[in-house]
Structure 1
Amino acid sequence: MVNKVRLAVFASGQGTNLDALQTAIIQRDLPAQIVRVIVDQRQAGALAIAAKWNLPARLVDYRQYSSKRAAEAAILDQLAHDQVQGILLAGYMRILSPTMVHAYAGKIINLHPALLPAFPGRQSILDAYQAGVSQTGVTVHFVDDGVDTGQIIAQQTVIRHPDDQLSDLENRIHQVEHQLYPQVLAALLEKGVFTK
C-alpha cells in the first residue's frame, strides 16, 4: 500500500479549487490525502465543500487571536497534530509570515489567477481586466517570503476576448485553475516534493 502524502488546503472563499483538488485525488487515485482544511472566514464556502467531502476543517478567525503570530502558531500546532507534509493555498487571502513559510519550506504551493510576475496581489483578475491586456492566465508557484514572488512551477494562458465582461474572464480563469492545479499536484507528488 502506498503511503499517502498528508496535505492541508488553506482557503478563504468558495472552495471551488478545494473541490477540484479533492475530486482529482479521488478520480486519479493520487497518492495524497487532504487531512486538514484551514479556513479564515466564517462564511467561506470552503467549509461546505470540506463537509461535502468529509474533510476535517478548522476555522481560524485571526480576529480572535492577539496577533497574526498567535493565529499562525495555532495553525502550525494543528498541522503538526495532523502530521501535514505539504500545504496547498487555494484562494487563501492572507500573506503567510516567514515563520509559517520556513516551517514548510519548499512545500507550500499557491495558485494565482494571473501570469506572474504580472498582476500580483489580491485583485489580480480585476487589475488585468482594467489594464486591458489581451491575455492573462493562471500561475502555480512555490511560496516564499514575498508576495506572489516564489519560483513558478506552471503557467497557463487565458485569452481575454474584446467583448468580455469581468465575470467572463473570471469564469475562464477559474476553469483553467480547476484543471491546472490538480495537474501540478500530480506532478509534484510524482517528484516527491512533499516527502523530501
Structure 2
Amino acid sequence: MAFMTSNVLRNLFRKSSTRMYPVVRRADFEGSRGELYNDIEHCIFCKSCQIKCPSQCITVDKQAGTWVCDPFACVFCGICVETCPTNCLHMKTAWRPVSRRREMITMQGTPPKPKKKAAAKDDTDSKAEAKDKDATGKESGKASETKASGKTASKKTHSKESTEPNKAAAKKSTAKKTTTAKGSKAKSGESKS
C-alpha cells in the first residue's frame, strides 16, 4: 500500500481527468451525426426520406402536411439527409437530451400546392380538342383512302381476270411449240436414217 500512497496524493491535488457529464459537457465533434432536424418550411413532402430510411423511422403524410420521426428507431445513418431533394433535412451535431418518456419528433407544415396540375389540365383539354379535330379529319381521310383503295383493288381484280385467259392461251401455245419441235426432230431423225 505504500507504493499507492504517492499516486493517491497526486490525484487528490490535480484536476480531475473525467467530466461531471450533466454539468460539464464536452464540445461535439465536427461532422458527428446527432438529432435529425427537418426545416419544414422547405419540405415538399415527397416521401423520399421515408422510402430510403433503413430503419423506417420516418413517416410523411402529404395530405396532412406532417413529418414524424421516431428517434428511438433512428440509427443516425444520414441516408435520409443525403436523399432529400430540397436539402431540408439536417443532422445536428448534438444528441437529443435524455428523456423519461418516448417522444416523437412531429412537425407540421403546409404541403406545396400543385402548380403544374392547373396548367396541365388546360394543356390536356387543348390537346384533347386537337386530337378530336385530328381524329375527325383523319376519319374522313381514312374513308376516302378506303374508297380509293377499294377502287384500285377492284381494278386489280379485273386486270387479273383479264390476264388469266391470256396466260392459259400462252401455255397452250408453248406446249404446241414443244411438241411440234419434238415431232420435227423426230421426223428429221427418221429422214436421216
Q: Same-fold call, TM > 0.5?
A: no
More helix by share: 2
User: Per the shorter chain, which TM-score range?
Assistant: under 0.3
Report the structure number with the largest CA radius of gyration. Answer: 2
